[in-house]
Structure 1
Amino acid sequence: MSSRTNKRESATKESQKVIQESNTQWSRDKLLLQTFALVSSIKVLLVPTYHSTDFEVHRNWLAITHSLPITEWYTNSNSEWTLDYPPLFAWFEWLLSQFGKFVDPEMLKVDNLNYASGRTVLFQRATVMISDLTLVYGVREIGKVYATSFNGFAAFAFLTLCNMGLLVVDHIHFQYNGFLLGILLIAIANVSKPDQTSILIGAGAFSILLNLKHLYLYVAPAFIVWLLKWYCSRSGNLFLRLIQLGAIVLTVLAISFGPFVTQLTQVLSRLFPFKRGLVHAYWAPNAWALYVGVDKVLSVLWKRLGWPLTTQTAAMTGGLVQEGELSVLPTPTPIVTFIATILAVMPALITLSKRRQNMLKPRDFITCLVLCGLSSFIFGWHVHEKAILTAILPLGILATLDSFNARAFMILSAAGHTSILPLLFPKNLIILKITMLLTYTAASWVCLPKLHRTSLLRTYEWLYIAALPLVTLYETLIHRIVLGDKLPFLPLAATSIYCAIGVVYTWLLIYYNYPCDEMKEAKIMKKKRR
């Protein structure tokens, strides 16, 4: 009887555990849906706002993929906004065009340049909002792996789904970064799990992401080292598992590039246009913005001293996408930036590869991924300001796990998002963008310290972040009032340089803590053994 009773009690406990987990997941899903509904209502209100040339870029891609044969997708140059994303994104545009033809067929005509009817605007805005469901699913999957408490999950869900950078770049400026970052989160979640099936699904998701937008190659080294360490080296089937991963990558590549194999050179030339300049409109807050800033200061001193300059024009401060040379300092070439990026990511990759198997944790992978993303952002060639989101969103996962990463997130998020705001240059958006910056920064200041029950920022870090809205105020108002039309590019330069200080500081902070983290854990384990 006692044996039967024990079995019944065990079955009852197991049943209660399943019900409890189900209720917990439903509570999380309910929160996600409510947050998505809330932020979607804000996105709807933003529909009539300004949209950038990227709106016409994607309208043109809709037209190209819908109206032209595949052989002309990467050769058509009817518009200056040629298709320059990998083939899977071209197919994504083709899929959207199948719905677009029922809304306004005129948008799908290649010759209708700069076409933006009311129905077209509504359709394209709606496609971004709907595709953000991928981001919602990514947050859900990440929560299953990393969120140890409901409050931690709630904080991450809010900071991600309400991310002001995505509101600015996707829903005002107009792009599809939320969709792409959602796939990144899905990939991270799956490769962080211990079972083979999930890891292979994660590897497939990341392969798909690379074939949607090739710039995610920046974080590919972290995935490679992690999969070798977490998946391939933890069993006696190293060779077999390498074949499995290779087969997934090659299959996705074949599906993506197969139809374009006869014009592969043309496709690659579109994907990697190295004739663009070192900096993108001087907005990305990275090492090269600081470097160009130093060059401008030196050029002024050179002129006053009467010394000759390498170039007489401020080629790098015109806000244009073009090649240019510095006045005093040597002008970096693409190969120089590539080497600098490789050197910057190597310590993170080496640290991850040398982690002991018994101490290896999925959060080590995310830290490495963040460092790879930041290193590429800081030292890469012609980096776009929006690329900072590739580091901010994954760091948001870690921010809910411990106070150190919460501190790093608050600094990087504030600096990175401030650097994006010059994208919204119309004067009627000044109040909106400052309000968005203050609201999101204040929200992170409230929820993260409350989650970890401690103050997070040092005094000097708090002062740095507190000055960021003033930088935006200078960029939008103060410069015009004080200097008028003089030095028109100074506001962007000041924003970029000040934000670069915060980005580089966060990068150094995380790098310093990364190897120290393992040493702390090793000491704790030794004490436990004693």
Structure 2
Amino acid sequence: MIPQIVIIVTTVKFLFIPLYHSTDFEVHRNWLAITHNLTLDKWYYEETSEWTLDYPPFFAWLEFVLSFIAKYFDPQMLYLTNLNYKSEMTVLFQRLSVIALDFIYISGVKSCSNLIGNGKLLVFILLITSPGLLMIDHIHFQYNGLLYGILLYSTSHIIRSNNITAAFWFAVLLNMKHIFLYVAPVYIVYLLRAYCFTISSVDGVHTPWYSFSITNLFKLGMTVIAVFGVSFGPFIQHIPQVISRLFPFKRGLCHAYWAPNFWALYTFADKVLQHVLVKFGLPVAKTEASMTGGLVQEYDHAVLPSITPTITFILTLVTMLPALVKLWHLCADRRYRVLSFVRCLVVCATCSFLFGWHVHEKAILLILIPLSFLSVLGDVDGRQFLILTTVGNYSLFPLLFPKNLLCIKIFILLTHVAISFVNIPTLYEPQGKIKGGRRRRVFRLPMLRHSESFYLYGLIALCVYENALHVVWGLDKTLPFLPLMITSVYCSIGVIYFWLSYYYYFLTFNVSRVPTLCTVNLAQKYKKTT
């Protein structure tokens, strides 16, 4: 069925070609023009457009290659001064480039799903029909499919114990988009522990002895250094300028539309306190509507302490540490190390999403993609996936703000949620056996508690308010950004709940009861097939 599924999903992507696209469309058109017309030494200095090149060199080279194909569609899209240019052929080329590069994502999905026995097809479907990727890449417009395809490909090699290959592809990924630095500590800890430490036996049976392999460390280090050398080598004289573009800390703590993370709740609390203090006549540093004006810039909080990039970095690192320590110890057992790696990847991605600086709402995919793979490999993984895939993908709805897209994004999400809630529970709950009787299942979604179910039902009320009641009540004129704030705050509660629940599970699970992927059997399987 895999070819048929690919054809169906790709056909849907073609249907999205004429739909709305965001400013990211102009961003990538401008990058095509920059890399096509200018020499390397000017790529990261060009600022004719406000959408300057701010991705690592490998992605810039990708734009350079695509530009030579783009000129056959419409050469005018490659003019640096043609700002906001979007002819029909330009739109067609940009959309087709995303669809074509998505086959790398399909290959990565296939590479990971092949590692699973029961649930292989379900994992493939869940990843291929990811609502977030469909909405962000093929309507909003970006190239996330290409990036997550490389991530999945690297992960599949981790599972097969091809550690050098996994490190190579992850290094390539970092030089495509630096957001993946968020999960780099997971790779560092895993590869050091699982690849650079070798296990031998002192007495032949009982006493394991660990030795550090300098050879393996050298091979690992040279692989990563070689990739970064090829990437940044041509820009060696311009490294400070490149770094300043990659890490623009002056963009502020929150994005224009707050990502549903801890800082959304923090900023919301600041707004509430500000309003209360003003109402009671108490002095407040500032009273204007900051951080809700839809702009990307630096702001100070009115009541609560303002947050700096250093604070977010420290908080992110501190919250990751327990998971990384746990992964270090779990890597000692070959049976559990690979899935522990993926679970730690999910945990640390969530830490960075919740506490990072200027987190984009689209970064939720960094959690959802690996969690989709885990959803069929454990009942807790499956239950947490059902919660987060619903909340996380709904949180992306404001990116597609035109009213004519409402039915499309609801249909995409409901289709994915229906597939998930119908099929995942069958892996863990035998049909016809309802724990506690049927009465306890009233209003309760499969595998979820009543409280979790009612929280997800709240998304329906939220959707009705945002798309109907807010306008009917005339609040769209006086409080235009209220729906965005409510969506961020409500969804952040779900994401934080997921983080706490899944983190606790990762730190406390009984290793002997956790499903595993037998790397020995996998190695034998692939040896036979190749």
Task: Tell me the distance in 1 between the aligned counterparts of 2:286 and 2:214.
Answer: 55
Task: Tell me the distance in 1 between the aligned counterparts of 2:511 and 2:429.
Answer: 25
Task: Tell me the distance in 1 between the aligned counterparts of 2:185 and 2:331.
Answer: 19
**1:495 aligned onto 2:487:** yes
1:365 aligned residue:
341
Return the offset for 1:478. 1.9
**1:39 aligned onto 2:14:** no
Does the 8 A contact of 2:127 with 2:369 survive in 1? Answer: yes
Return the offset for 1:474. 2.1
1:187 aligned residue:
154
Q: Could you tell me which of 274, 285, 301 is aligned with 2:249? A: 274
Return the offset for 1:477. 2.5
Does the 8 A contact of 1:418 with 1:472 survive in 2? Answer: no
Q: Could you tell me which of 447, 461, 471 is aligned with 1:456? A: 447
Does the 8 A contact of 1:311 with 1:325 survive in 2? Answer: no
1:307 aligned residue:
282
Q: Could you tell me which of 131, 134, 137 is aligned with 1:167? A: 134
Moved over 4 A (4+): 519-522
**1:62 aligned onto 2:32:** yes
What do the CA deviations read for 1:3-23 (whole angstroms, capped 9, x no partner)?
xxxxxxxxxxxxxxxxxxxxx
1:437 aligned residue:
413
Q: Structure 2 counterpart of 1:494, which letter?
A: I
Return the offset for 1:368. 0.4
What do the CA deviations read for 1:326-345 (whole angstroms, capped 9, x no partner)?
11111111111111101111
Does the 8 A contact of 2:112 with 2:153 survive in 1? Answer: yes
Identity percentage over the alignment?
48
1:95 aligned residue:
65
Give the secondary structure class of the aligned counterpart of 1:154: helix
1:389 aligned residue:
365
Task: Tell me the distance in 1 between the aligned counterparts of 2:10 and 2:257.
Answer: 32
Task: Tell me the distance in 2 between the aligned counterparts of 1:234 and 1:398.
Answer: 27
Return the offset for 1:360. 3.4
Task: Tell me the distance in 1 between the aligned counterparts of 2:302 and 2:331.
Answer: 49
* Aligned ranges 1:309-348 → 2 under 5 Å: 309-348=284-323
Task: Tell me the distance in 2 between the aligned counterparts of 1:324 and 1:470.
Answer: 31
Return the offset for 1:521. 4.4
2:206 aligned residue:
none
1:139 aligned residue:
109
Does the 8 A contact of 2:265 with 2:489 survive in 1? Answer: yes
1:17 aligned residue:
none
Task: Tell me the distance in 1 between the aligned counterparts of 2:468 and 2:152.
Answer: 38
* Aligned ranges 1:254-265 → 2 under 5 Å: 254-265=229-240
1:86 aligned residue:
56
Task: Tell me the distance in 1 between the aligned counterparts of 2:31 and 2:461.
Answer: 38
Task: Tell me the distance in 2 between the aligned counterparts of 1:111 and 1:396.
Answer: 42
What do the CA deviations read for 1:53-105 (whole angstroms, capped 9, x no partner)?
00000000011111111111100001000000000000011111111111111
Task: Tell me the distance in 1 between the aligned counterparts of 2:257 and 2:63.
Answer: 29
Bigger mean CA deviation after superposition, 284-293 or 235-244: 235-244
Return the offset for 1:314. 2.1
Give the secondary structure class of the aligned counterpart of 2:477: coil
1:178 aligned residue:
145
Does the 8 A contact of 1:164 with 1:436 survive in 2? Answer: yes
Task: Tell me the distance in 2 between the aligned counterparts of 1:356 and 1:416.
Answer: 30
What do the CA deviations read for 1:329-385 (whole angstroms, capped 9, x no partner)?
111111111111011111110111122623533110001000110000000000000
Task: Tell me the distance in 1 between the aligned counterparts of 2:468 and 2:41.
Answer: 49
Q: Could you tell me which of 143, 152, 172 is aligned with 1:208? A: 172
Q: Could you tell me which of 97, 107, 117 is aligned with 1:148? A: 117
Q: Structure 2 counterpart of 1:243, which letter?
A: F
Bigger mean CA deviation after superposition, 267-276 or 459-468: 459-468
Task: Tell me the distance in 2 between the aligned counterparts of 1:292 and 1:441.
Answer: 30
- Pick closer, same or farther for the CA change 1:470–1:384 going to 2, 3 Å: same
2:42 aligned residue:
72
Give the secondary structure class of the aligned counterpart of 1:354: helix
Q: Could you tell me which of 471, 480, 484 is aligned with 2:471? A: 480
Q: Unpaired runs of 5+ in structure 2?
A: 200-210, 431-445, 515-530
TM-score scaled by length of structure 1 = 0.90
Task: Tell me the distance in 2 between the aligned counterparts of 1:506 and 1:232.
Answer: 33
Task: Tell me the distance in 2 between the aligned counterparts of 1:62 and 1:518.
Answer: 51
Task: Tell me the distance in 2 between the aligned counterparts of 1:386 and 1:401.
Answer: 25
What do the CA deviations read for 1:184-233 (whole angstroms, capped 9, x no partner)?
00011102213xxx221111000000000011000001111111122111
Give the secondary structure class of the aligned counterpart of 1:275: helix
Give the secondary structure class of the aligned counterpart of 2:462: helix
1:234 aligned residue:
198
What do the CA deviations read for 1:464-486 (whole angstroms, capped 9, x no partner)?
11221332332232211112312
Task: Tell me the distance in 2 between the aligned counterparts of 1:63 and 1:484.
Answer: 38
Task: Tell me the distance in 1 between the aligned counterparts of 2:363 and 2:491.
Answer: 14
2:374 aligned residue:
398
Task: Tell me the distance in 2 between the aligned counterparts of 1:331 and 1:314.
Answer: 16
Task: Tell me the distance in 1 between the aligned counterparts of 2:389 and 2:258.
Answer: 16
Structure ranking higher in helix proportion: 1
Bigger mean CA deviation after superposition, 399-408 or 428-437: 428-437
What do the CA deviations read for 1:442-475 (whole angstroms, capped 9, x no partner)?
2211121123335411111111112213323322
Does the 8 A contact of 1:434 with 1:472 survive in 2? Answer: no
Task: Tell me the distance in 1 between the aligned counterparts of 2:261 and 2:358.
Answer: 10
1:3 aligned residue:
none
Does the 8 A contact of 1:73 with 1:83 survive in 2? Answer: yes
1:14 aligned residue:
none
Return the offset for 1:248. 0.8
Task: Tell me the distance in 1 between the aligned counterparts of 2:194 and 2:114.
Answer: 18
Q: Structure 2 counterpart of 1:496, which letter?
A: S
Task: Tell me the distance in 1 between the aligned counterparts of 2:461 and 2:94.
Answer: 34
Return the offset for 1:520. 5.1
TM-score scaled by length of structure 2 = 0.90
Does the 8 A contact of 1:35 with 1:158 survive in 2? Answer: yes
Q: Structure 1 counterpart of 2:69, which letter?
A: F
1:218 aligned residue:
182
Q: CA RMSD in A?
A: 1.5
Give the secondary structure class of the aligned counterpart of 1:234: strand
Give the secondary structure class of the aligned counterpart of 1:74: coil
What do the CA deviations read for 1:222-266 (whole angstroms, capped 9, x no partner)?
111111122111355611111111101110111101111111111
**1:512 aligned onto 2:504:** yes
Does the 8 A contact of 2:190 with 2:331 survive in 1? Answer: no
Does the 8 A contact of 2:384 with 2:502 survive in 1? Answer: yes
Task: Tell me the distance in 2 between the aligned counterparts of 1:348 and 1:445.
Answer: 28
Q: Structure 2 counterpart of 1:126, which letter?
A: L
Task: Tell me the distance in 2 between the aligned counterparts of 1:322 and 1:306.
Answer: 29
